[in-house]
């Protein structure tokens, strides 16, 4: 999960010549926020929001299929970080 990536994997990477982008996903808007927030203080350069994941609370529909849900996810991720969002 995100904790292993931030705590064990990122410290082993060389960030001097390569840009790193984290891909975040979740089953709820809150999960997107929490995962994005966890990467906020890490050395990654940007965050890609994977909105093709199913929204479990809304019957499994992908967040990206609903413009309002997509907006909620992006808004939550923006609140969690100042890093560029893709």
Query: What burial class does residue 63 get, using C-beta atoms within 10 Å of its C-beta: 0-12 exposed, 13-18 middle, 19+ buried?
Result: buried
Residue with tokens 């992006």: 74
Helix, strand or coil for residue 26? coil
Out of 53, 73, 76, 80, the active site residue is 53
Q: Judge whether 53 counts as a catalytic residue.
A: yes
Q: Which residues are known catalytic residues?
A: 53
């Amino acid at each position: 999960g995100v904790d292993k990536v931030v705590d064990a994997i990122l410290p082993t990477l060389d960030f001097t010549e390569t840009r790193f982008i984290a891909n975040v996903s979740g089953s709820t808007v809150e999960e997107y926020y929490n995962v994005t927030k966890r990467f906020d203080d890490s050395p990654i350069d940007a965050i890609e929001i994977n909105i093709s994941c199913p929204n479990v609370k809304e019957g499994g529909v992908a967040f990206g299929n609903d413009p309002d849900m997509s907006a909620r996810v992006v808004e939550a991720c923006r609140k969690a970080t100042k890093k560029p969002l893709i």
